[in-house]
Amino acid sequence: MKALKWVNHLITFLLSLLLIALVFSVIISKASGGEPQIMGYQLKSVLSGSMEPGIKTGSVIAIKPGGDMTRFQKGDVITFKVSNDKLITHRVMGVKGAGDNTQYITKGDNNNTEDLDPVLAANVVAEYKGFTIPYTGYLLNAAQSKAGSALLLILPGVLLLFYSAVTIWKAIKEVEVKKDAPSTSN
């Protein structure tokens, strides 16, 4: 019975922790305008396989924005703007020019050829620092939509309530069994 109680407490704790983590994630996502940031790093979802096998499709990566965007060298992985709403993370294969005229030749690790257009240093938004959480990008993308936010907040709460109801029901059954059992007295 002690092992069962311990398992019950563990499940309750894990469901509560999941609920708190999801609430925290949704709040950070909404408060930062859809750009979750932790300790100066932005979290981005990877939507293509161009950097596989190192960065899998659906992963979340941490990128470090800011600083001198002309500092990158061959082998660095950068995130850059292609349009107002599209970012790409690729590896620097070469550097042309200097100062404000710096351009990067980039390529996805899984691509056969370099990207067609060089990337201006002014279009670089951050550097990838090697931190990846596989497959959680799908969850992050869902959290940024209204329906996904609601689901991520409601589902763990409903699971916690359901689990609590089951636990209470079992406790009531135990009390009823003890009440109905004949007592042994001397």
3-class DSSP state for residue 10?
Answer: helix
Q: Is 22 helix (H, G, I), strand (E, B) or coil?
A: helix
Helix (H, G, I), strand (E, B) or coil at 106: strand
Do 103 and 96 touch, CB atoms closer than 8 A? yes
DSSP secondary structure string, 39-99?
A: TTEEEEE--SSTTTTTS-TT-EEEEEE-S-TT---TT-EEEEEEETTEEEEEEEEEEES-G
Distances (CA, A) of 170 to 61, 86, 175, 176: 43, 52, 9, 10
- Distance separating alpha carbons of residues 48 and 145, to the nearest angstrom: 20
Is position 48 annotated as part of the catalytic site?
Answer: yes
Q: Please pick, among 48, 50, 83, 145, the residue that the annotation labels catalytic.
A: 48
Q: Which residues are catalytic?
A: 48
